[in-house]
Amino acid sequence: MNKKEVRCARMNESYVHIEHPSGLTLLLCPMPQFGSSYAMFGTDYGSVDTAFRLAGEKEFFHIPDGTAHFLEHKMFESEKGDAFADYARTGASANAFTSFDKTCYLFSCADHFKESLEILLGFVTDPYFTPETVDKEQGIIGQEIRMYDDSADWRVMFNLLDALYVNHPIKIDIAGTTETIAQITAEGLHHIYRSFYNLHNMVLAIAGNFRVEDVLEVADKVLRPSEKLEVERLEVEEPYEVSRRRVEQRFPIASPMFCIGFKEKPGDKRENAVNSILDEVLNEILVGEASPLYRRLYDEGLINTTFGSESLSGRDYMASMYSGESRDPDKVYEAICDEIERVKREGIDDEAFYRNQRAAWGRYIRMLNRVDSTAQVLMNTWFSDMGLYELLDVVAEMKKEDLEKRLRENFNREQSAISVVLPEA
């Protein structure tokens, strides 16, 4: 077993990195000053993984849209019952989620930590799929898909992604459609599970009031050595151009909603993670609550407190998005584009840069003082080929010129789009 301590000189804190004999990576951050623990067990597999093949295979296995999310739901079921019932006996609060590029299972607890961890490692490493249970789940997920279709917030975002991207599967709804999940079979789920739920492709991140020895005891008891597999994912060629500049839909809502996006040039996973932090600070400078543009749009009644920005990044995609409610979404779009061009010409104000850099530093420090966000950042950075504390280095060492370069090279009107949801006529 390979075990090492990873220290942060800036904060004088540390976590433990362990390569378990089973093949699983353990990222453990004991925080004894807290009364609870938060554990996440995740795999590097999400909705954008649409086809793959193992070493030695000639043909790609094509995955129906929505399978990663479907598989997440199925993992909680076993021949003995439901994992949530087991968690009820330990008092832990459990959940799971599927994103574009990962699937995670998690729990938080104040006591019975070892028992809850054993449940987590147990059900995620013991799949149970039959044709009958798959058929049953297709009906349940179908209802969930219809619920998402009726959500204006969900649709305004995915309509934007569909406008920004031409071929990339990020434009596909994470849950898929009723037609695509109907193609899912128990045999296909087993093949996908064996390929992506391989322990060498997974990580266990835990933060809070626990002992490293207890984690190792449970891992040694539950986990069995896993053969490392070479999985080749099908790469999709995506042009820098957007699919279309504007998309509109009508919904039974009271006020128009919008989502504006700038399609950026992606790098590798690590570069995208670093650039996402830079973009976070850059977007605060451009449209954050303390920015001149935000104050002007707010005073003119063009935005309200629902307005916000987000940097969306992953394995091979990158975008900055701005969303909210407005009586005139297109005017907000033009104002953001004009402000970006102005800052490109005039440069970033020194005081605004330092203020937002310090604010970002404060946000990350606060994140690392919570057990849930610490575990989440441990997992996210690992899947981005980074270490937990490298986030702080990126924030502390960024320069104004770095942000100005990001702005010049990636925030272009031609590679932007707007999605609008309007009230029904």
Alpha-carbon span 87 to 308, nearest angstrom: 36
Tokens 């053969």 belong to which residue?
227
Per the CB < 8 A criterion, the answer to whether 250 and 51 are in contact is no
Q: What is residue 376's three-state secondary structure?
A: helix
Q: How many other CB atoms are there within 10 angstroms of residue 218's CB atom?
A: 21
With vertex at residue 313, the alpha carbon angle to CA 309 and CA 319, rounded to the nearest 5 degrees, is: 55
Strands (DSSP E) contained in 326-378 are: none
8-state DSSP, 237? -
User: DSSP alpha helices (H): ranges in 125-210?
Assistant: 131-149, 152-164, 178-181, 186-196
Place of tokens 């001149």: 292
Helix residue spans in 308-416 (DSSP H): 329-346, 350-367, 371-383, 390-397, 400-410
* CA gap 353, 361 in Å, rounded: 12
Catalytic residue numbers? 72
In the chain, the amino acid numbered 50 is T
Please answer whether residues 92 and 116 qualify as being in contact, where contact means their C-beta atoms are separated by less than 8 angstroms: yes
DSSP string across 287-306? HSTTSHHHHHHHHTTS--TT
Rounded Cα gap, residues 288 and 396, in angstroms = 20
Contact 304, 298 (CB under 8 A): yes
